[in-house]
Amino acid sequence: MTPNWLSVPLALLLAPLLPGVINRTKAFFAGRNGQPLLQAYFDVVKLFRKGAVYSRTTTWVFRAGPIVTTAALLTLVPLSPFGGQEAPLSFTGDIIVFCALLGLARFFTVIAALDTGSAFEGMGASREVLFGALAEPALYLALAALVRHTHTWG
């Protein structure tokens, strides 16, 4: 078992490995070789080398969208239990903060897409909202079942 404080950097370092395992498994069952297992790491390094391109029609909302979304999702990592241990940042009601941060990330993703003024981005934002309307009730129901089972909001 890893110490409680070590779970946050470990989760951040291992997160890109999961899509590689999933894609490699899909390729195996499809009879293909598939992409390298560490492809997500290569893509992250390549994307960090790129610069930002902003349209003249966007406002500060478009620039703030990725920053707020990334900050919200990085804040979720210490709120998540890892390896059967208690979360590094745990308190009564943290499940409500967890849901609020997920909602904040989705909200800023959608308004940043709508800020571009492009019809294609509007369609993408609409798809994101539809997915949220379908997935979030299931998430809330699962979390409510967890709260009921554990008899605690933490």
What pLDDT shows up at residue 1?
Answer: 53
Mean pLDDT rounded to a whole number for the chain: 90
What percentage of residues in the chain have a pLDDT greater than 70? Answer: 98
Global confidence as pTM: 0.82
Q: Is 108 exposed, middle or buried (0-12, 13-18, 19+ CB in 10 A)?
A: buried
**How many CB atoms are located within 10 Å of the residue 140 CB?**
12
Report in angstroms the alpha-carbon separations of 22 from 15, 79, 110, 113: 12, 25, 27, 28
Domain boundaries, the chain: 1-51, 56-153
Spell out the alpha helix ranges (H) of 30-152. 39-49, 60-79, 94-115, 119-150
Q: Taking residues 95-100, report their average pLDDT.
A: 92
What pLDDT shows up at residue 141?
Answer: 94
What pLDDT shows up at residue 3?
Answer: 64
- Spatial separation of the C-alpha atoms in residues 46 and 1, rounded to whole Å: 33
Q: Taking residues 85-114, report their average pLDDT.
A: 91
